[in-house]
Amino acid sequence: MSARSPLERSSVALGTLAPYFFQVAYVVPDLGAAQDWFRRVMGVPYFLPMPNVVLGDTCRHRGRTANAEMHLALGYAGGTQIELIESVRGPSLYTEFLDQGRSGLHHTAFAVPDFDATIAELRAAGLETVTEGYLDTGMRVDFAYFDCTAVGGSVIEILGFDAAARAFMDELKTRTGN
């Protein structure tokens, strides 16, 4: 019997993610230029800028407390959220991507109803969490990134929103006419 890759072993967990597809995220060297391009070429009507987002004590990257900062912009293309990320400082999945000489499409995200169960299932299937934690700014967003590039996939992010974060995302989507 041949060994199965983590992606094959995780067919049950990943097979349940599709209904929760939420976001496509891009790591970009210049947030302003990327927003202009996405507006002009892709027709994304509005981006909400989120400057100086800091990953710190509530986040871990590769097993260590995160110490990274980025500027974000969130918009919608139809029903899909578009996230633009400009790394400012510190080690992160985003700086690793840029250090490889890359920019552009970085990960897809799934907003799941049961964050803890989904993370446990993916880990049990053999997928490793690369970055994880939560941000709480009056609304809580839990997140975990899994690197699936070794099996021909991409990085995937699992998101868990509290009621306030879900309402914020719904309002943002409405604001853009989607």
For residue range 18-71, what is the model confidence (pLDDT) as tens digits?
999 999 999 999 999 999 999 999 999 999 999 999 999 999 999 999 999 999
pTM: 0.90
For residue range 88-141, what is the model confidence (pLDDT) as tens digits?
999 999 999 999 999 999 999 999 999 999 999 999 888 899 999 999 999 999
Domains of the chain: 6-175 (3.10.180.10)
Burial of 47 (0-12, 13-18, 19+ CB in 10 A): buried
Q: What's the rounded Cα separation, in Å, for the pair 135 and 123?
A: 21
Residue type, 129: T
Residue 69 has, within 13 A of its CA and on its CB side, a CA count of 4
Q: What's the rounded Cα separation, in Å, for the pair 55 and 108?
A: 19
